[in-house]
Chain A
């Protein structure tokens, strides 16, 4: 399986994602934001970080990078694109995913483990995943997902809500919502479910000596689904 990770100026989880993808069997290439063509890929990843310093709205400058044209073409052709954290913010800014990511409710950066519930398995990201709840890690300042009532209705009806913040047993409640996201939303799909944006970082949870290992479950399942 071939993957590509895009490096924007200010990306800082690009290497971590490269390490994770390779660990689970992807042949990964790093792609520079100023490149025009994407290499042939089965999966494109927009990594976490602070692209362009996030000095304008998070992700907005990166969404206008040269490479994004070919990323958007790839998406429109049904290609698999995953945006993690800042990558999620970029996907929202390009309009590939609905909604926006606001500043965290308590106005503080949050770095900690959270539980997320997988809502939908009719897609190539989570199909066949045995665990309904994963423990992943978040590290962000702007992860408070928001959209209009109409948009919410639409994404609910289309099963576009990929994952929600929850407790260990999968209960979704305000007390398990780390950042104020509407309906505890931690990640969403586009309509066709070839694009996934999520705040949690699976790449930081890939061996037992780190904060946890549930990221491994995600990646192992993902590569099997893509085969």
Chain B
């Protein structure tokens, strides 16, 4: 087949990109070469629209061992231990084929982590679906949950936390973001940089099939009505093989045979071989006849573009082939020497003794396109005037029950009960709390992880929203007593070619950058997913932030359930009564306009660090951050989990009771303390200039506002747990 401009366009390349390829090669590429360029230059692999902005994120810190640019980020947690972690999107495939799409998303991110030598110890996920009333939502939810469980459960890695959100903007484009944490010894971290000449290049894992060809290109385009036809581009997962691959890789990594290792993820053999060569400033020569294939008569084009899962590429030390082969034989995995490193700085592919591709590595990587896309700055919306009389007519208990049963607030137990969250025997905080927590096996340390996003705030004002998500992650870690270390981000947006969507991206990234800089909470890894869009309709901007923190002594971990009758409950942080964009405004008042709550980074840091101080001094019995639904929703969840009630005091401040209880002002936490500690706690809060209000006293089983306004905790629990169970069983 002779390549021309139309074929290039059919591969998702732009006309000027095709011209650039011809200029760089000083000739017309053949079809295999064109396939390689299209795989490397698509949005998913090249970050061509986002690179310019991502560069501005803070990525360094005292505990950062490896920032963005490797398979995953790495942070130091002391005693020669390090945590490797990253988040990745699998949005497009999950919409087309929810089970396999979600499953391979989980498989892919685990591979990124164990490629670096780390044993995965925890999985998390953030999943977003369309309106519950939309005809596809229920099946997509069921398929995605089963896919995530199907892969993670079989691998024997606990799924310890997550987030599920429903919003009509995801009707045509769901989001599936998967995150994995792994544990590694600091001096046994593996990287993807190839070094040394004439080193054997090894292929291990599953055989290569025709599945997933052009997967990364599919994920770099918007959807249209023919999307169902793209099913063959979705990969098929085999968690059993991945489990074997994990054990085999870790066994080989215990020795000193590996120079570099890279998993074959998006764009398969193409991107893995090119990344290793590029990082090492070397060339790679591959004999494609040596690649283990699942199907007969696969062409070089298909072999290079297949996204078959559970495969790895390794550069070995000379003479270690036999030793390595023995290990992979033991685990019944394919092992083949398929090529070697060269000094040519080119990627040279041979098939049937003929050269089928010959491309300088730098043309694929450094010379890949980078765009400074046009973007539109968002204005801060005007505040709504809320009619106080309307508020006074509302019955607070009725409103509370409605909010607790809202799809975005209700208990997600139906989901996380399908995930094995206790395998490995170190899960000390299960899903349903502020963060999931796992112990570092055999030590006193524990690692906390949380995953968050606030699309509504980002949509109302991207800059504020971007900051808010980072702050929420910070708060969720602190609420369990963990010191926040670093974050990973998954940036889900519409089309970068639309200046409004691009503006959302630019300003969310700016917000994320400002907050992570201020909070010393750097970004160590991440992923961008554009084109979450069907025809002209894009999703709400949805950056997901995965945060990781350390608890030095796991016995001092904090949980959110109320513990003891007669203990005192405080809210840390000031309540101004910000109602715009709150769950209350959107769902009870049906008011969708207005600015999101303001972020004051000084208060975030100060409130959070002061709470950590209180926790370190053993003054906190339980804690929970205030988020969707405000103070009273947070308190209700603490009551439900602890099976206790509370006698609430009338708020001292002049704002309306409803505003006080449902406002979503930021930087707040609910804490439970004993009566005898009240004085000490007050002193520390005052000394650090942290605002707090006393909210009430814990009782046996009622949420009590006044004689006429009260409700049993059982009734609140029913509101909170019934919605999802009923929805899924209908």
Contact = CB atoms under 8 A, between A and B. Distances in A.
A109 B421 CA distance: 12
Contacts of A54: 154, 240
A109 B240 contact: no
A182 interface: no
B418 A53 contact: no
B712 interface: no
Interface stretch (A94-102, A121-129, A205-213): A205-213
Given A20-B425, A137-B422, A209-B554, A53 B156 contact: no
Contacts of A139: 153, 420, 422-423
Q: Which of B243, B244, B439 has the most CB of A within 10 A?
A: B243
A112 interface: yes
B470 interface: no
Interface stretch (A8-16, A148-156, A159-167): A8-16
Nearest to A49: B156
Interface in A116-138: 137
A15 B424 contact: yes
A108 B416 CA distance: 11
B425 A111 contact: no
B238 interface: yes
Contacts of A20: 425
Contacts of B150: 109
Contacts of A109: 146, 149-150, 153, 418-420
Nearest to A20: B425
Interface string B260-278: 0000000000000000000
Contacts of B628: none
Interface in B700-717: none
B327 to A, nearest CB: 13
Contacts of A50: 153-154, 156, 239-240, 243
Given A12-B423, A203-B425, A111 B240 contact: no
Given A110-B417, A211-B430, A13 B422 contact: no
B423 A16 contact: yes
A201 B424 CA distance: 11
B555 A209 contact: yes
Interface in B154-168: 154-156
Given A109-B149, A139-B420, A210-B427, A12 B156 contact: yes
B144 to A, nearest CB: 13
Contacts of B239: 50, 53
Given A50-B154, A108-B418, A111-B418, A206 B425 contact: yes
A53 B238 contact: yes
Nearest to B425: A16
A9 B439 CA distance: 26
Nearest to A178: B417
Max count, chain B CB within 10 A of own CB: residue among A19, A110, A111, A112: A111
B395 to A, nearest CB: 34
Contact of A210 (B146, B241, B417, B428): B428
B332 interface: yes
Contacts of A108: 146, 417-418
A111 B417 CA distance: 5
Contacts of A193: none
B692 interface: no
Interface residues of A, number: 30
Given A50-B240, A139-B422, A210-B422, A10 B154 contact: yes
Nearest to B145: A108
Contacts of B154: 10, 12, 50, 53-54
Contacts of B557: 209
B155 A111 contact: no
A48 to B, nearest CB: 8
A15 B416 CA distance: 23
B149 A9 contact: no
B240 A52 contact: yes
Contacts of A137: 422
Contacts of B156: 12-13, 49-50
Given A10-B154, A211-B430, A111 B331 contact: no
B240 A12 contact: no
Contacts of A13: 156, 423
Nearest to A52: B240
B430 A55 contact: no
Interface in A1-32: 9-10, 12-13, 15-16, 19-20
Contacts of B554: 209
A121 B89 CA distance: 52
Contacts of B332: 9
Contact of B240 (A53, A204, A209): A53
A20 B244 CA distance: 23
B242 to A, nearest CB: 10
29 contacts: A9-B243, A9-B331, A9-B332, A10-B240, A10-B243, A10-B244, A12-B154, A12-B156, A12-B423, A20-B425, A49-B156, A50-B153, A50-B154, A50-B239, A53-B154, A53-B239, A53-B240, A108-B417, A109-B149, A109-B153, A110-B418, A111-B421, A112-B417, A139-B420, A139-B422, A209-B428, A209-B555, A210-B422, A210-B426
Given A15-B424, A53-B238, A54-B240, 9 more contacts: A9-B244, A16-B424, A49-B156, A111-B153, A111-B421, A137-B422, A209-B554, A210-B425, A211-B427
Interface of B: 146, 149-150, 153-156, 238-241, 243-244, 331-332, 416-428, 430, 439, 554-555, 557
Interface of A: 9-10, 12-13, 15-16, 19-20, 48-50, 52-55, 108-112, 137, 139, 141, 201, 203-204, 206, 209-211
